[in-house]
C-alpha cells in the first residue's frame, strides 16, 4: 500500500464510554489486517501498559503509547511517526470515552481542546489527523442510538468520525434497527459484532491480565479475536477510512536525537555497560522507547526474569518497571540468589531505577513474604486503587533527577509502602486534588524508586544521567555482581 497524502493511513478506535469493547475490537482488527497482508503499527492512547501487550501479539511488533499528559503535545506526532515506521497502516486504540481526558480545576470552562480533556482520544486523533471509528456497545441501544451518534458527530468539529462498529448485537432484527439508526444520521457501519462470551479476556484487580503472563493463552485469545473480527468487520471500508488521514507524518522521534543535547562530548566507553531490565510474568509494564533510549545512550540492554534468573554477568545498572509482584510473591521470594545480587549491586553504588512494582520488589517484604530487601520499606496489598496523573517535583538529587526538577507521571496500584527507620529521602513531592501535600518513593545513593510511572521520551536528561552513572560503575567481575 502507498501512504496517503496525510502520511501512513491511520484509524483511531474509540467509544462513547469505557467498557464498550475497544480492546477486543482493536486487537481483532489489528490481527485481521495483518492476516490480510498489512504491516500494522499498533498504538494505545494514554498510560496503559496492558492493552499494548495484546496489540503486540496481534501485530507482531511492539505496541506503543501516545499520551500528551506524559510527554507533552509536541512529542505525540513524532512518537507516532517513529512507531509507524515501516507500516502501511496504523491502528490506535482510544482511552475511556472519546472526549474523556485529564482536566484540572483551573481548566474547567476553558475553550478549546483543553476543555475536552488533555490526552483524550479526541485530542490525540486531532493531533495526528486521523479519522475515528466509534465502537458502540449496542446491548442497550435501539432507535435512540441515532441521537447518541448525532451528539458525538456534532460535539467537536476537529474530530472526524468516519463510521461505527456495532458491538454485542443480539439478533438480526436488532442489527436491522441499529443500522437504520446509523443511516438516519449518515454514519456508515463498518462492522457488526455479535454477542460472544468467548471473546472476553480474563481480568483481575488492575484490569486485563497482561498478555506476557498468559503466554500461550494470550496467543490463543488473540487468534480467537482475529478470527471473529475478520468475519465481522468490513476491512476494505476501514482501510479506506484510514486513508482519509488529514495530517502528514511528522519527522520521526529519535532516541539518539533526544539524548544528543545532554551528551558532553566525552568519548564513549570502550565496552557497552550492561543494563539489566526486569521482565517475565511479574514485570510486564514498560514503554518500548525505554530500551531504545538506553541502547542509544550506549548501553547493552539485557532482559532478566526475577522469578528465576540472577543478574546478568557484568550488570552495571538495573531497571525494574511495573507489573504484578503480588501475584508472584512466593516465586520472587524464593529466588534468594537474585535478592542477594540486588542488595550487593546497590551496596556497591551501582544504580537502580524502579517504578511501582519495582518499588515493591525492592522492599524488605510484601505482606510478610520476602522481597529483595534493597530498601528499608515494607509493602502491603489492599483494596484501595490509587490511580491518576501526578505533577511531581524531585525532592533531592538522585541517580536520575536533580532536586527541583518537575515531571508528570502516572500512578496505578493497590499496594502501599511503609518506610522503616533506615529509609532515605522521598523521591517525589506533589499536591493532591484537594491541595494537600504528598510524597512518594525512596532515594538512596544508588536507588531511585517510586510508584510514579514516567515515559522515557519525556525525561531524556534523566536517562542520560542514569547511563552516565552506569558507565562510571561498570562491573568488572566475570560473573554476577
Residues noted as catalytic:
356
Q: Which DSSP helix (H) or strand (E) runs through 431?
A: strand 428-431
How far CA 252 is from CA of 75, 113, 327, in Å, comes to: 10, 24, 38
User: Which residue in this structure is represented by grid cell 501516545?
Assistant: 66
SS3 state at 378: strand
In 161-259, the DSSP E strands lie at 161-169, 189-194, 203-204, 207-208
CA terminus-to-terminus distance, the chain: 50
C-alpha Rg value of the chain to the nearest Å: 23
Task: Name 308's Cβ contacts closer than 8 Å, sequence gap at least 6.
Answer: 280, 331, 335
Whether residue 318 contacts residue 83, with contact meaning beta carbons closer than 8 Å, is answered with no
What is d(CA 125, CA 14) in angstroms, rounded to the nearest whole number?
A: 10
H helices of 129-205, where?
145-155, 172-184
Q: Which residues of 50-68 are buried (b: 16+ CB within 10 A; e: fewer)?
A: bbbbbbbbbbebbbbbbbb
Nearest alpha carbon to residue 43 among 230, 325, 287? 287
Residue 389: other Cβ atoms inside 10 A: 20
361 and 320 in contact (C-beta within 8 Å)? yes
In this structure, how many other beta carbons lie within 10 angstroms of the beta carbon of residue 230? 16
SS3 125: helix
What is the C-alpha separation between 80 and 75, in angstroms, rounded? Answer: 8
Calpha distance 231→32 (Å, rounded): 9
Q: For residues 410 and 392, give the distance between their C-alpha atoms in angstroms, rounded to a whole number.
A: 10
- CA–CA distances in Å: residue 11 to residues 14, 88, 162, 245: 10, 12, 9, 8
> Under a CB-based contact definition with an 8 Å cutoff, are residues 9 and 1 in contact?
yes
DSSP 214: H
Grid coordinates representing 38? 498489512
Amino acid at each position: 500500500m502507498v501512504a496517503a497524502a496525510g502520511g501512513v493511513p491511520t484509524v483511531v478506535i474509540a467509544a462513547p464510554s469505557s467498557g464498550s469493547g475497544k480492546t477486543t475490537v482493536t486487537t481483532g482488527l489489528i490481527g485481521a489486517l495483518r492476516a490480510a497482508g498489512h504491516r500494522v503499527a499498533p498504538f494505545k492512547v494514554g498510560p496503559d501498559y496492558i492493552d499494548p501487550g495484546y496489540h503486540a501479539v496481534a501485530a507482531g511488533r511492539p505496541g506503543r503509547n501516545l499520551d500528551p499528559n506524559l510527554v507533552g503535545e509536541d512529542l505525540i506526532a513524532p512518537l507516532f511517526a517513529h512507531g509507524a515506521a515501516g507500516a502501511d497502516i496504523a491502528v490506535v486504540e482510544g482511552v475511556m470515552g472519546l472526549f474523556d481526558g485529564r482536566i484540572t480545576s483551573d481548566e474547567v470552562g476553558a475553550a478549546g481542546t483543553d476543555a475536552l480533556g488533555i490526552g483524550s482520544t479526541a485530542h490525540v486523533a486531532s493531533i495526528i489527523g486521523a479519522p475515528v471509528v466509534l465502537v458502540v456497545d449496542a446491548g442497550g441501544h435501539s432507535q435512540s442510538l441515532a441521537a447518541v451518534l448525532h451528539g458525538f458527530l456534532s460535539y467537536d468539529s476537529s474530530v472526524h468520525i468516519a463510521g461505527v462498529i456495532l458491538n454485542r448485537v443480539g439478533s438480526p432484527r436488532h442489527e436491522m434497527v441499529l443500522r437504520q439508526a446509523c443511516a438516519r444520521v449518515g454514519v456508515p457501519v463498518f462492522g457488526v459484532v455479535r454477542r460472544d462470551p468467548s471473546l472476553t479476556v480474563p481480568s483481575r484487580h488492575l484490569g486485563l491480565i497482561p498478555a506476557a503472563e498468559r503466554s500461550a493463552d494470550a496467543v490463543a485469545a488473540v487468534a480467537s479475536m482475529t478470527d471473529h473480527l475478520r468475519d465481522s468487520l468490513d476491512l476494505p471500508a476501514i482501510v479506506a477510512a484510514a486513508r482519509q488521514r488529514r495530517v502528514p507524518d511528522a519527522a520521526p522521534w529519535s532516541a539518539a536525537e533526544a539524548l544528543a543535547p545532554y551528551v558532553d562530548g566525552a568519548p564513549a566507553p570502550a565496552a557497552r555497560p550492561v543494563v539489566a531490565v526486569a521482565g517475565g510474568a511479574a514485570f510486564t509494564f514498560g514503554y518500548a522507547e525505554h530500551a531504545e533510549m538506553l541502547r542509544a545512550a550506549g548501553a547493552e540492554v539485557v532482559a532478566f526474569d526475577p522469578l528465576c534468573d540472577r543478574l546478568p554477568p557484568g550488570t552495571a545498572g538495573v531497571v525494574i518497571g511495573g507489573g504484578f509482584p503480588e501475584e508472584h510473591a512466593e516465586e520472587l521470594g524464593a529466588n534468594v540468589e537474585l535478592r542477594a545480587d540486588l542488595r550487593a549491586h546497590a551496596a556497591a553504588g551501582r544504580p537502580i531505577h524502579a517504578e511501582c512494582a519495582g518499588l515493591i520488589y525492592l522492599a524488605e517484604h510484601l505482606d510478610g513474604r520476602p522481597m529483595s530487601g534493597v530498601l528499608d520499606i515494607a509493602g502491603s496489598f489492599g483494596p484501595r486503587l490509587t490511580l491518576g496523573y501526578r505533577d511531581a517535583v524531585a525532592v533531592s538529587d538522585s541517580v536520575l533527577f536533580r532536586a527541583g526538577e518537575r515531571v508528570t507521571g502516572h500512578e496505578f496500584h493497590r499496594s502501599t509502602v511503609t518506610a522503616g527507620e533506615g529509609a532515605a529521602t522521598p523521591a517525589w513531592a506533589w499536591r493532591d486534588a484537594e491541595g494537600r501535600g504528598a510524597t512518594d518513593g525512596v532515594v538512596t545513593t544508588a536507588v531511585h524508586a517510586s510508584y510514579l510511572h514516567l515515559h522515557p521520551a519525556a525525561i531524556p536528561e534523566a536517562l542520560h544521567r542514569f547511563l552516565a552513572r552506569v558507565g562510571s560503575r561498570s562491573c568488572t567481575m566475570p560473573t554476577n555482581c
